[in-house]
Structure 1
Amino acid sequence: MNCFCCELCFYNMYIFENPVLQRELLVNLRTNRAIFLLAAYQILLAIIVVAAWPSDERLDLSTSPPSATNLVNLFFLGQYVIASLMAPSFAAGAIAGEKERKTYEMLLASPLRPGAIIAGKMIASLTHIGMLIIGSLPIIVLCLPLGGFSLYEVLAAYAGLIISVILFGAIAVFCSSYFPNTSNALVVSYVAILPLVIGACLVWVFLADEGNLRLNLATIVFPAFGLTGVILMCAFSAQRLLYPPDMGSEGKEVFDLEEESKNAVGLVIQPDQFPDRLFAPPKKESLMADGANPVYDKELHSEIFSQGTLMLRLVIQISIVLAIPMMAVFLFFMPEHAPWFGVYVIVFNMLVGPTFLASSITSERERQTLDLLLTTPLSPVQILWGKFLVRFRISLVLTCFLLWPLLLGAGFNPDLYSNWLSMLLMLLIVLSVCVVNCVIGLVCSLFSRKTSVALLLTYSTLLILYVVPPALAILTRMLNFTNQTYAVIDLCGILSPFSALFALPLDQSVIEDNVMRNAGNMVIVTLYFVVSALIILIASGAMILNLRSRRGLSEG
């Protein structure tokens, strides 16, 4: 009887009578975004199924039709990637959002246990994604009559998907408890989740012919490790709430950079040494020079590092640890796949770069200092240039940490240094991506009201520009479209640096047949640089005109 009462009290406290869970569910599921996202998710998956639907007039259902198998694999991989990218965006603001809204101290003072708070936040954050996943079941049921897969494989795939979403949500909540704002928590979550997503997709693809092994991994091995990770992440997050850090005015955490450096594990940022001083300037010991840009000086010394260096240290360490094995594989053992290393560097900058720029103007709105900034005698160019230069500098330096393996590969691998022009163009493509990403982040920050909205808008824009063109190219080749369709889709690749990377020319001694279909297409590479320059010019002009007109900028 006592055990039953204890279990009932547990469920009441953590689920049924959890005020945090009830409040978060009502707020999240009643918004217009929830309805729009559910509709967009279903439409996107339906488009994938319709586009990849087998065109064969007859299918031999006694065997496993390759077209039906490709359809199901594409459906699950597409859903897995989409849901994995969405999970951190919902959960990264669970605790950090309370800090930004200045309600963190009220949450800590409530009679709820830390475990109940974390459980309520996690369940509420992931319920919406769970609805999206369950809503996709009718679409996959339409594919069952085609054959090529069993009901057990479908259930195993959905079990792995649900466990993955829960694990990624737990990682995001864990990061949210350690960072003072949502953008930092979101970036670290993405950097930590990215290798897990890539590894899971590779295992699913390469074990396609090993049905039993893939089923056992998806139903036994992965849930065991995934749920263990969830429990550990939630326990650490609850421990953080039970023993919170020192709080200053308005509920903000108190950071001492010197004390943080002493207690740091692994990398320590030292502003007085190279290369740390490139992105972490030392303390000011003199007055600002005459004629200097005050926006640049303020952003450089107080804005980025006022919330500690934990995010930067984690991003640098995780990215370098991942870059070393990728350098060995793509630049030495498999040089014909060298562009894939450039893909990794670009994806890293896509995740990290916009974080600094997306908050450049919205942070002024949120602090209600935008009107004061606009009434200064500074010109729009000075304001934009000061904010852009500091944040772009940090993004560029962090990305350059990953470019030294490319220089090593080009210098020590004979197969690559004979292709020095392509290596140089690959480097220029990465640098142009750094500029374009930061410019788009600054534009979204100028035309958005909140940092979270600006960050999601930036990520959405970059996904449309960078990922959609090569994804369409892959899809058209899987569906065996005409050569004219190939040409049109390949021309759309001028928007994407990924398409430009795989269009770089390589010697026949390096490249193998059909490794890169567009290798040597310098038209795509040249047009990509032209389009990137146009994007920068148009975006810069729009920002300058908007600041001069002051339209929609006043907070009064």
Structure 2
Amino acid sequence: MKVIFNNPVLFKELKLRFRSPKSFNGILFYLLAICLFVFGFIFMTTSSMGTSYFRPSESYILFTLLSFIQLGLVLFITPGLTAGAISSEREKQTLSILLTTSQSSFQIITGKLFSSIAFLVLLIVAGLPVYSLVFLFGGISPMDFAKVFLFLFVTVLAIGSVGIMFSTLIRRTIVSMIVTYGTMLFLSVVTGFLFLLMRQMTMFGSFTGTGMTTPSPSIVSHILASVNPAMLFASFTSPGIAGAILEVTQVKFPIWIGYLIFYILLTVLSLFIAIKRLRVNMKRSK
């Protein structure tokens, strides 16, 4: 832990990123957009219902929409922030200088990772006061709020680690970014499509001439649901979706536990590969 926080690479990258006016302008426009969405939703809902108050059920809908907006922010911005962390240094021909310093590979990789996702984490934290407006109208428990942000952080860390890994393995930033976005799309879109396909196959296979039979447990469908961020958040915000997933998979193991296991392992494996491959060319030259 001391090695992580006593990291010159991390401090240097944070200073360069947060001294730029673009960072604070980005936070400003993000908060303006979130405020416009929240107050616009409240105004349109109260106007359409002909009431002067906001119901707890409508507050829960707002909480769900905000959760998916945050998830989309994480999925589509994190690869752009991390996929060029190492490859850009290589393209600017400054990576060799960085490798000759006294910093270990672990410090360089973790410094680049945490500095890259720090801006995104700051965006999420800066939006908390606006996000917490849903508590004023009821319908949301603190546990729902904590679960969403815990899994947002796990997702940011995992996708950021994948981006750092590809940035280390691939020499060109644009190629690294494409591969990272491809991985993100596979985890968030392709797995969902495959789950729906497996659902249709399960329903078709369980239909007999005398009616519907109970489908057999499907481990593959459960794994697909467990690694898909959108399905996990949908199960948090809608108990009906959680019940539908259980009905399809017939596996009672909670998908949020599978999600944690998969993405923590993905984070550790990605960082391990990135650390091991960072100085591979220097070792060969010796």
TM-score range for the pair, normalised by the shorter chain length:
0.7 to 0.9
- 1:352-390 CA-partner distances (Å, limit 9, x unpaired): 222221221111111111111112221111111222222
Match of 1:360 among 82, 85, 96: 85
CA contact 1:345–1:402 (8 Å) conserved in 2 = no
In 1, Cα distance between equivalents of 2:114 and 2:231:
28
Distance change (3 Å), C-alpha of 1:433 and 1:477:
same
The answer to whether residue 108 in structure 2 is matched with residue 394 in structure 1 is no
Question: Which residues in structure 2 correspond to 1:103-252 (within 5 Å)?
Answer: none
In 2, Cα distance between equivalents of 1:383 and 1:504:
36
CA contact 2:35–2:130 (8 Å) conserved in 1 = no
Match of 1:381 among 99, 102, 106: 106
In 2, Cα distance between equivalents of 1:349 and 1:327:
22
The answer to whether residue 160 in structure 2 is matched with residue 435 in structure 1 is no
Distance change (3 Å), C-alpha of 1:314 and 1:336:
closer
Distance change (3 Å), C-alpha of 1:336 and 1:553:
farther
Distance change (3 Å), C-alpha of 1:383 and 1:310:
same
Look up the match of 1:494: 226
Distance change (3 Å), C-alpha of 1:301 and 1:326:
same
The code of the aligned residue for 1:540 comes to: L
CA contact 2:18–2:24 (8 Å) conserved in 1 = no
Look up the match of 2:256: 525
Taking structure 1 as the reference length, what is the TM-score of the superposition? 0.40
Task: Report the alpha carbon displacement of residue 459 of structure 1 after superposing the two structures with TM.
Answer: 0.9
In 1, Cα distance between equivalents of 2:155 and 2:223:
19
Unpaired stretches in structure 1, ≥5 consecutive residues: 1-290
Tell me the C-alpha RMSD between the 2 structures: 3.6
The answer to whether residue 139 in structure 2 is matched with residue 415 in structure 1 is yes
Task: Report the alpha carbon displacement of residue 498 of structure 1 after superposing the two structures with TM.
Answer: 1.5
Where 2:93 maps in the other structure, the secondary structure is: coil
The code of the aligned residue for 2:122 comes to: V
Look up the match of 1:468: 190
Task: Report the alpha carbon displacement of residue 341 of structure 1 after superposing the two structures with TM.
Answer: 3.1
Distance change (3 Å), C-alpha of 1:551 and 1:350:
farther
In 1, Cα distance between equivalents of 2:86 and 2:233:
32
Look up the match of 1:3: none
CA contact 1:354–1:455 (8 Å) conserved in 2 = yes
In 2, Cα distance between equivalents of 1:333 and 1:505:
13
- 1:84-108 CA-partner distances (Å, limit 9, x unpaired): xxxxxxxxxxxxxxxxxxxxxxxxx
Look up the match of 2:235: 503
The answer to whether residue 26 in structure 2 is matched with residue 295 in structure 1 is no
Distance change (3 Å), C-alpha of 1:309 and 1:430:
closer
Where 1:376 maps in the other structure, the secondary structure is: coil
In 2, Cα distance between equivalents of 1:463 and 1:516:
25
Look up the match of 2:73: 348
Task: Report the alpha carbon displacement of residue 412 of structure 1 after superposing the two structures with TM.
Answer: 2.5
Q: Identity percentage over the alignment?
A: 23
Distance change (3 Å), C-alpha of 1:366 and 1:318:
farther
Task: Report the alpha carbon displacement of residue 297 of structure 1 after superposing the two structures with TM.
Answer: 3.1
Distance change (3 Å), C-alpha of 1:427 and 1:545:
same
Task: Report the alpha carbon displacement of residue 425 of structure 1 after superposing the two structures with TM.
Answer: 1.5
Distance change (3 Å), C-alpha of 1:313 and 1:525:
closer
The code of the aligned residue for 2:113 comes to: F
In 2, Cα distance between equivalents of 1:488 and 1:326:
41
Question: 1 or 2 for the larger relative contact order (CA 8 Å, sep ≥6)?
Answer: 2
The code of the aligned residue for 1:355 comes to: G
In 2, Cα distance between equivalents of 1:311 and 1:448:
31
Match of 1:456 among 160, 175, 178: 178
- 1:111-164 CA-partner distances (Å, limit 9, x unpaired): xxxxxxxxxxxxxxxxxxxxxxxxxxxxxxxxxxxxxxxxxxxxxxxxxxxxxx
In 2, Cα distance between equivalents of 1:523 and 1:331:
27
Distance change (3 Å), C-alpha of 1:362 and 1:549:
closer
Distance change (3 Å), C-alpha of 1:362 and 1:438:
same
Task: Report the alpha carbon displacement of residue 301 of structure 1 after superposing the two structures with TM.
Answer: 2.4
The answer to whether residue 265 in structure 2 is matched with residue 534 in structure 1 is yes
Task: Report the alpha carbon displacement of residue 413 of structure 1 after superposing the two structures with TM.
Answer: 3.5
In 2, Cα distance between equivalents of 1:442 and 1:321:
32
- 1:287-331 CA-partner distances (Å, limit 9, x unpaired): xxxx95332232122356568458725762574256426874798
In 2, Cα distance between equivalents of 1:372 and 1:450:
18
CA contact 1:503–1:525 (8 Å) conserved in 2 = no
Question: Which residues in structure 2 correspond to 1:89-104 (within 5 Å)?
Answer: none
Unpaired stretches in structure 2, ≥5 consecutive residues: 46-54, 206-214
**Between Structure 1 and Structure 2, how many residues are aligned?**
256
Task: Report the alpha carbon displacement of residue 542 of structure 1 after superposing the two structures with TM.
Answer: 0.9
Q: Find the structure with the greater CA-based Rg.
A: 1
Greater percentage in helix: 2
